[in-house]
A and B are shown apart, each in its own frame.
Chain A
Amino acid sequence: MSAAAAIPAPRRRERTKGRAFRWLLLSTIVVSGALLVTLLADVAIDGTTSLSWDFLTSAPSFDPRIAGLYPALMGTVWLMGGCVLFIVPVGVATAVYLEEYADARRWWNRLIEINVQNLAAVPSIVYGILGLAFIVRGPLSLGPVVLAGSLTLGLLVLPVVIITAREAIRAVPPSIREGSLALGATQWQTIWRQVLPSSVPGIATGVILALSRAIGETAPLIVIGAAGYVAFAPSGPDSAFTAVPMQIYLWISESRTGFAELAAAGILVLMAVLLLMNGVAIWLRNKYEGKW
């Protein structure tokens, strides 16, 4: 390295090319990072003036100066609550079945596997159509209420929970299971008392990731008909609702002045919640990583 002059010209050219390539690669990451920073700065500049305690505690209004996020915030809390109650038992049960019981040579088990993979890549608006045709109208006919929203979003993020929970369960070494079985525990006792407790951090991370996807989803909520003006917090699972991203969308579509700033303030709240959730997920992952 020190005697650059001693390196023959073709090699030197090669080295310059190598450096240029390296900078080119690095610049792609810089561009992505710069966009992210610009986006966050833009939202912060637009949104901070509208952000206040009153903004969080008052109802939306046709007057942008007094409009707030409260019903949407409570709607999102209800939606996510319902979502957790749905995706944790179903997602974990599916993961346990696929990892601990399913015989991969059977066609029905392979069908379930391929299904989960495929469902993870179905566009969110298609889940909205499913929710509209089967949950809001059609067989279940719940109407556009909190429960319908929770179920639709739950189905949408269920593959995330299943896939991460499977990874967490797979990471528990076989020796733990063998030890438990050798001591006379049944298979279910082994799963319930050994495997699941050991994979709780991984499963919790997956559930948080799933919720952070669900909390920002707007398209399925529009399709199932949660798009109206709702001035009250939901009173139960059968109550009409709006949600934070839904309210942001309504404010974005409002062309009068003052509403873009409200949308930005709403986005700030949403992003703050998301950062908090992701922070918890990363903390969990780091704390329990590589325990075996």
Chain B
Amino acid sequence: MDDLVLTGGARRGEQAVKGLLFLAAILSVVTTTGIVVSLVEGTVEFFGEVPVGDFLFGTEWSPLFSDPEFGVVPLITGTLLITAVAMVVAIPLGLGAAVYLAEYATPRVRRAVKPVLELLAGVPTIVFGFFALTFFTPNVLRDVLGADVQIFNALAAGVIMGFMVVPTIASISEDAMSAVPASLREGAFGLGASKLQVSSRVVFPAALSGIVASIVLGISRAIGETMIVLIAAGQVPNLTADPRESVETMTTFIAATTKGDVATGSIGYKTIFAVGTTLFLLTLVMNAISIRFVRRWRQVYE
């Protein structure tokens, strides 16, 4: 546009508009900077009082007790336990839906099925939490597994969270599979392959980087989810691999602590930032991996 000939006033106006728009766009960078600065600031203060080793390797978490312990390990294992349960549910259901929609469904079926996934994606997580606590634990888990299941438990939170993640995995994987060129399918059909063989041995591997991206993004969402866990998994920092027990995740700790209105500058307040940083770094790594995989699949077929 540089060769446009404008008179002085109009040109200045155009430049001013461009500058204003640029300022708006910069806000996203400011937001990220704000997140990083607030997290780092609080975390540095936290590590001024608590040794890094105690935080990263300690297995006891009781920061708000009079004799506090700051070992983050139980929060991380709690988070990973629930995430693992969620993925056991979300990966088969999400990928099954994706393969069906991309390879098998007629346009009419697609029109009927897509809204189900969109609706599932639109349910607020607090609603999933309510359902996990008041329906899934008492009416499903306790009926099947007996009274060993605690009222607040990792299993219910994980399973229901899995359903929350299904639309993420399904829609990104479906996009990846739909982007596989028809010529690959036609080639395989021409060689006598069945639909099952084409779906599982041609389309699925060809779309693998997109599929991996969807799963990684799903994991990232599960790690960062707060309300389902806060409501249904309890708030007991518990170093366990038994999903029938109550656990505390990183997000739960942050929400439960801030709910109590902690004073600025107290150790409880600083702890929020240390845990927040750990959470942010974990999800950041996941998102970076996911974006990288998505890029690879775009490069191949677009």
Contact = CB atoms under 8 A, between A and B. Distances in A.
Contacts of B35: 122, 126-127, 129-130
Contacts, number: 249
A242 interface: no
Interface residues of B, number: 89
B116 interface: yes
Main secondary structure of the interface of B (DSSP, over half): helix
B34 A130 contact: yes
Interface stretch (B65-73, B141-149, B179-187, B256-264): B256-264
A233 interface: no
B120 interface: yes
Contact of B97 (A32, A133, A219): A32
A219 B255 contact: yes
A221 B251 CA distance: 13
B283 A96 contact: no
A26 B27 contact: no
B219 to A, nearest CB: 11
Interface stretch (B16-24, B52-60, B238-246): B16-24
B178 interface: no
A9 to B, nearest CB: 14
Interface string A117-137: 111011111111110111001
Given A101-B22, A227-B259, A118 B32 contact: yes
B287 A121 contact: yes
Nearest to B116: A33
Contact of B116 (A27, A29, A134, A218): A29
Contacts of A125: 224, 226, 251, 254-255, 276, 279
B266 to A, nearest CB: 12
A188 B117 contact: no
A126 B258 contact: no
Contacts of A137: 264
Interface of A: 14-15, 17-18, 21-22, 24-29, 31-33, 35-36, 38-39, 42-43, 46, 89-90, 93-94, 96-98, 101-102, 111-112, 114-119, 121-130, 132-134, 137-138, 155, 158-159, 162, 186-188, 212, 215-219, 222-225, 227, 245, 248-249, 252-253, 260, 263-264, 267, 270-271, 274, 278
29 contacts: A22-B195, A29-B96, A35-B120, A36-B116, A36-B119, A43-B130, A90-B24, A112-B29, A116-B28, A122-B35, A122-B224, A123-B221, A123-B225, A123-B251, A123-B283, A126-B39, A129-B272, A138-B38, A158-B27, A186-B14, A187-B14, A219-B226, A219-B251, A225-B261, A252-B126, A260-B134, A264-B134, A267-B130, A274-B124
Please name the 7 residue pairs, one residue from A and one from B, whose CB atoms are nearest each other, closest first: A123-B224, A216-B124, A28-B96, A93-B24, A133-B38, A219-B226, A97-B21
